[in-house]
Chains A and B, each alone.
Chain A
Amino acid sequence: MQKNVLARFKLLLIMVMACFILLAGRLAHLQVLEHDHYRDRADHNRITRFPDPAPRGKMYDREGEVLVTNRPGFVVSVMDMGDGFDPETVSFLSDTLEMDEEEIWERIRGQSRFMPVKLQEDVSDEVRVKIAEQQWKYSGVSIDAQYVRDYKYRETGGHLFGYISGGIIENQAVLDRWEEMGYDYDNRHVVGQDGLEINWEPFLRGKEGEQLVEINRMGQKVAELDHRKPEPGHDLHLTLDAGLQEAAYQALEEKIEKLQEEADEDEEKPWQGSVVILDPNSGAVLAMVKYPAYDPNLMPEKYMEKYFNAPGSPLYFDAIKQTYPIGSTYKPVTGITALEEGAISDSTTFHCAGAMERAGITKRCLGVHGHSNIYRAMAVSCNIFFYNTGLEAGIDALSHYTQEFGLGKYTGMNDIRGEKRGTVASREYKERRFGERWYPSETMDAAIGQTFHEFTPLQMAVYVSMIANGGVHYRPYLVQEIIDGDGGTVMEAEKEVMHQAGVSEENLEIIQESMNLVTEPGGTGYYPLHELEVEVAAKTGTAQVGRGITPHGLFVSYAPYEEPELAVAAIIEHGSYGSTSAAPVVNDIFEYYFSEDEQNGEEGESSEEGEEQDD
């Protein structure tokens, strides 16, 4: 071994010794000199992390009115302070929170130490006071502020907003979409479960903060050492008109309750209905209602008890998820088809003697209308005219133009998912579904919106919008703008053309005019809407759903006739005639909207006067 190598080893050894001595010195400093300080910190306090929840994004209507927000509430939790849970503590909590002891044990068993386990959220003031008073006796019990979701409009917007709850999301499509948005889904979190809440979860959720706190032996916070502030969720500004939504819900509710009272014992009672209102110039959803709906404030607690088996299936959003035969509200399609195909002109007449026979089958009309052209036939809803018109045009053309007007096609609604596609009566459909060929009598049924035609209320609203706006299918949308916590725009929706119906302007104008006549004297929609000052184009419908079963009542319309602002589709299941069930509902909606409009106008012109009146 060379001398110089030995010397280098010595150098290495000295360096090692120096390092070890430094470590030992620092250890002695901590463990001897500062020992009391650290012993104190270890014994009397614990430092732990608590999550600091982020306020979920709010939702506003088109005027900026708050629809969904968060209100302060209190949550009771319990945590293991290092030596397990005390049966006395559990028994106290069981009494105070009115929960089974077994249930509490179930929740806390196997939970990590120093991690609070939530037992009851949004507790009453009474419970809050009781816990606060007696907390000192029971270690690990805490009561903390929390956000509670507050749905201002209760049932009125139930399905639109959805609700939030813990629980695993099983819908893979939803999970995939969230992942695409870069959302880190954690199944321990409370997340959106329906409507906008689930669809916009990644934007609404915000980012949870965290508090580094010292807790004492009882599990109470003594000091906050650090705080990472939560980032609030993004706010949704909706296209919705809250007043209109409410008016629609109330009108439906009143009508359906009244119809239930009037219905005979053995009749199929009307339990539910839907209304969809679109801005025909953009596809913006102004209102979308299904009655009855659930109150999101009560979800998920009352899910089973109150809603699961309730009549009218309040959990289900039929406005986009249910398909119906649409009866005579389909007749504008038959009309435009025949006009486009050149099968009729606006002067073509057919004679109605109350019934007609074709290929050995007798088809009836609800009245005896004599000779009528398309204007009169639409106004009085003459079946005979449209049977003939349908036969002239043929089923293939009918199927084609049905889809041209967005019926039996996805509307493209993305802000709330789950819309149904419906079915279009056609040769192919019958062949595929039943393996049978098409009969001409079925063309006659199809021409008045029966047989296999089945569409959603949302599709009907798109369809009537297209008649109103010259044939443009705008994608229906509900979220106008997403705003982040700093007021910056995250996303802004613009109207999007999905399709332009291949029909001529003149023919569409004939249909518009004929639909306007529906609400004129002599038209089927005259009586229910006769008090309105605004000009309305509409079509009534009464859809047969089987022998001896009360038919569905339908009504599609838009107003004002010259410059449409609203396109409305309404249906009351088993509501009988459209003109006596759905049409009065729409009348109430128009009355609300257009009289409100006038008031607004007056206020705008002379605001001072308005104030004086208020006094």
Chain B
Amino acid sequence: MISRQQVRNFDVPLLLLGVGLAVYGLVVIYSATHFVDYVEDPFYFVKRQSMWLAMGLAGIFVVCLLDYINLYYWSRYIYLFAALLLVLVLIFGEGTARDPDILRWIRLGFIDVQPSEYAKPALILMVAKYLSDKQKYLGNFWNLLPAFLYTLIFMGLIFLQPDLGTSLVFAAILLGCLLVAGIKRSHLMAIIGAGIAFIPVLWQFMGSGQKARLLVFIDRSHDPLGAGYQLLQSIIAVGSGGPWGRGMLEGPQVQGGFIPEQHTDFIFSVLAEELGLIGAILLLLMFFFLIYRILWIGTQAKDTFGTLICTGVAVMLVFQVVVNVGMAIGVMPITGLPLPFFSYGGNALLANFLSLGLVLNVGMRRQKIQF
């Protein structure tokens, strides 16, 4: 099933970067959660995340078994299945105890499924297939419309949960793939322009919480009791960490529980407070090499489908990293996007590993002749 050549082509550094980030994340998750009082075991969150990490590795193995070209034919069904899950979450979904009105999970008893995470690789496959089919005809604007439709369906379903941040990831994926697939510059500009024009419409449909978070980004003093409080505490944590950090388990902001959502959305603040600029730059470098490696594999792919898969995965990760880190240091609005591979959250971790598996698969079956 797998040739020796393919094994040789398996990109070990990429896998190590992904696993490295996740392990790095486990350390920081421990620091952020070991004291919480609603679970007895201080390793509770670490253990759960490790379990998902193991599933992620198994997922990579499974994804790499078959030539990704099969996925080219299955992409439509994968897309439809993901869409079905997104509809189901709106009907049967549940939110967190804190935000019961935000529908995010389908509870299956033994496990909670968060369909929006799996929708990301599903859309990447669908868009990659479509754009690779139509690559020669992309000069005609009308040929872009189906790709928009695929993307907007997912965005709309996720926006209804409501989860604005995650739905924007899909827009980024589409834009990245369009750019690499080679659409006209004028079209690209028109799309971005239309997107900006759409913001006021979006505003009408946004919940008060989302609006508050965006307003805080524009004006720091807006609602300091709610969203402003989170931002302020996070920035104090990052700034007080300094170049070398407070040391593991030593950050007063983290250990005092001042930072909201510190094992998920604001995990970067924990890292920056306890491990300082050094730890934060290490993280950014790891991400940079991960992205670089994915893009490199994209250039080596044997077909446009593979190239676009790599593009989509890279853009998906970059967007989330930039938004998440930017949010923790006050240069991006608070949108509730997790830090890929790093934040606590099993579904995201598994989906990211599956996406990484797609890239590794493309890399294993790349062209023999390189230029």
Q: Contact residues of A with B, CB < 8 Å?
A: 1, 4-6, 8-9, 11-13, 16-17, 19-20, 22-24, 26-28, 30-32, 34-35, 37-39, 41-43, 46-49, 82, 110, 112-114, 210, 212, 225-226, 228
The answer to whether B239 has its CB under 8 Å from any CB of chain A is yes
Do A47 and B284 form a contact, CB below 8 Å, given A41-B240, A113-B256?
no
Minimum C-beta distance from A223 to chain B (A): 12
Bound-complex Cα distance A514 to B222 (A): 74
- Contact of B291 (CB < 8 Å), options: A5, A16, A30, A38: A16
Bound-complex Cα distance A228 to B298 (A): 53
Which B residues touch A114, using CB under 8 A?
256-258
Cβ contact within 8 Å between A12 and B37: no
Bound-complex Cα distance A17 to B240 (A): 26
Cβ contact within 8 Å between A27 and B225: no
Which residues between 248 and 300 of chain B lie within 8 Å of chain A, taking CB atoms?
252-253, 255-258, 272, 276-277, 280-281, 284, 287-288, 291-292, 295, 298-300
The answer to whether B89 has its CB under 8 Å from any CB of chain A is no
Which A residues touch B238, using CB under 8 A?
27, 30-31, 38
- Contact of B179 (CB < 8 Å), options: A8, A24, A42, A48: A8
Cβ contact within 8 Å between A23 and B329: yes
Which B residues touch A47, using CB under 8 A?
229, 232-233, 236, 258
The answer to whether B7 has its CB under 8 Å from any CB of chain A is no
Bound-complex Cα distance A586 to B75 (A): 89
5 other A-B residue contacts (CB within 8 Å) besides A26-B329, A31-B241, A226-B228: A9-B311, A20-B287, A41-B240, A46-B256, A113-B256
Cβ contact within 8 Å between A8 and B180: yes
Q: List 15 A-B contacts (CB under 8 A).
A: A1-B301, A12-B180, A12-B315, A13-B292, A16-B288, A23-B284, A26-B329, A27-B238, A27-B277, A27-B284, A31-B239, A35-B240, A42-B236, A114-B258, A210-B225
**What 0/1 pattern do residues 97 to 126 of B give for CB contact below 8 A with A?**
000000000000000000000000000000
Minimum C-beta distance from A115 to chain B (A): 10
Cβ contact within 8 Å between B243 and A31: yes
Bound-complex Cα distance A43 to B246 (A): 11
Cβ contact within 8 Å between A12 and B252: no
Cβ contact within 8 Å between B180 and A9: yes
The answer to whether B364 has its CB under 8 Å from any CB of chain A is no
**What 0/1 pattern do residues 319 to 337 of B give for CB contact below 8 A with A?**
0001001100111000000
Which B residues touch A12, using CB under 8 A?
176, 179-180, 295, 311, 314-315
- Contact of B239 (CB < 8 Å), options: A20, A34, A46: A34
Cβ contact within 8 Å between A49 and B229: yes
Do A5 and B225 form a contact, CB below 8 Å, given A16-B318, A82-B252?
no
- Contact of A23 (CB < 8 Å), options: B242, B299, B307, B325: B325
Which A residues touch B318, using CB under 8 A?
16, 19
Bound-complex Cα distance A27 to B326 (A): 9
- Contact of B235 (CB < 8 Å), options: A6, A8, A11, A30: A30
The answer to whether B128 has its CB under 8 Å from any CB of chain A is no
Residue of B nearest to A41 (CB): B236
- Contact of B243 (CB < 8 Å), options: A35, A210, A228: A35
Cβ contact within 8 Å between A212 and B299: no
Which B residues touch A43, using CB under 8 A?
240, 252
Cβ contact within 8 Å between A9 and B295: yes
Which residues between 126 and 171 of chain B lie within 8 Å of chain A, taking CB atoms?
none
Residue of A nearest to B288 (CB): A20
Bound-complex Cα distance A28 to B281 (A): 9
Cβ contact within 8 Å between B329 and A5: no
Which B residues touch A5, using CB under 8 A?
180, 182, 299, 307
Cβ contact within 8 Å between A17 and B179: no
Bound-complex Cα distance A245 to B176 (A): 78
Residue of A nearest to B276 (CB): A31
Residue of A nearest to B326 (CB): A23
Bound-complex Cα distance A23 to B228 (A): 20
Which residues between 214 and 243 of chain B lie within 8 Å of chain A, taking CB atoms?
224-225, 228-229, 232-233, 235-243
Q: Counting chain A CB atoms within 10 Å of each CB, which of B232, B239, B276 scores highest?
A: B239
Do A30 and B225 form a contact, CB below 8 Å, given A23-B322, A47-B258?
no
The answer to whether B198 has its CB under 8 Å from any CB of chain A is no
Which B residues touch A22, using CB under 8 A?
331
